[in-house]
Structure 1
Amino acid sequence: MSYPVGRSRFGGLFALAMALLAALAVGSWVTSGAGGWRAAAGLAFLLAAAAWAGASWWSVPSGRLTWDGARWAFAAGTGPGQSGVVTVALDLQRWLLVRWAGTRTHWVWLEHSRAPADWAALRRAVYSRADDDVPSGAEPPP
């Protein structure tokens, strides 16, 4: 099973919505009487968190996520890819937020719209347990 991975429009909009909600909360807090260094600290934290979220979204790698029945691999090019672990953090049926842990860790939104025909296979794969007895490259039964 192989699925395309890349920067997600849904993930970007989700992060933007969270940043706007946080800005509303800080704005409400400041207008209700918070002032001085507390307001400045809240605003600084909000800006830092929004910048971090934007940079994280921008740096999502593009490539293919592959499951062979025993292990996950992520390939950015045409090579065999890097082994790692995929953990589902949030399942919204048409979008999955997963944590890819290889040599680097990335949070990645997987979207139904990238490969609708392979979506069901991807969902089965992310929830299946690895079978260590399966040889690398083995094909599932027909």
Structure 2
Amino acid sequence: MSTLTERRAADTAAAHLLKHLEAHGLTVEGRDTGSTCYALVVRLADGSEIWASGEDGISHHAADELTVWWVRHYRTPDADTWRSLFLSGNNDFPADTADTAAAVAFYAHYLNGTPQACADCHGDGCEHCDQEGTYLPPFPGRNTTH
């Protein structure tokens, strides 16, 4: 399967996450990321992207094969550098999928708005910021990482 419409109709982990992302009002594109990897991508107003996929990029596999969702922010679509925003891992596929979609929506809304300056480093770079000095607040839900 190669189109997002086909993936939406399939019973894959990606199809489940896509339904949750669309319920949050997000515009999502599917992307083959190389080899056998697949990610759901939300483009932001500044041209950066938020990617969501399963462990080892297996979101196109059956839902019962997925154990971890990850969410990353890429400043440029082809960049090798990214910032981890969220990592699920409760081995509860429905809850993890809902939490992952909520994390994508949270960061998409935040990064499309007016991101705050970091109180710790004032944009000079620290563990709470991305490589551009943009403060990335912790996701208020479960499984926060970055």
- Rg larger in 1 or in 2? 1
Q: Relative contact order (C-alpha < 8 Å, sep 6+): which is higher? A: 1
| Higher normalized strand content (fraction of residues) | 1
> Shorter-chain TM-score: which interval?
under 0.3
TM-score relative to the length of structure 1: 0.25
| Higher normalized helix content (fraction of residues) | 1
TM-score relative to the length of structure 2: 0.25
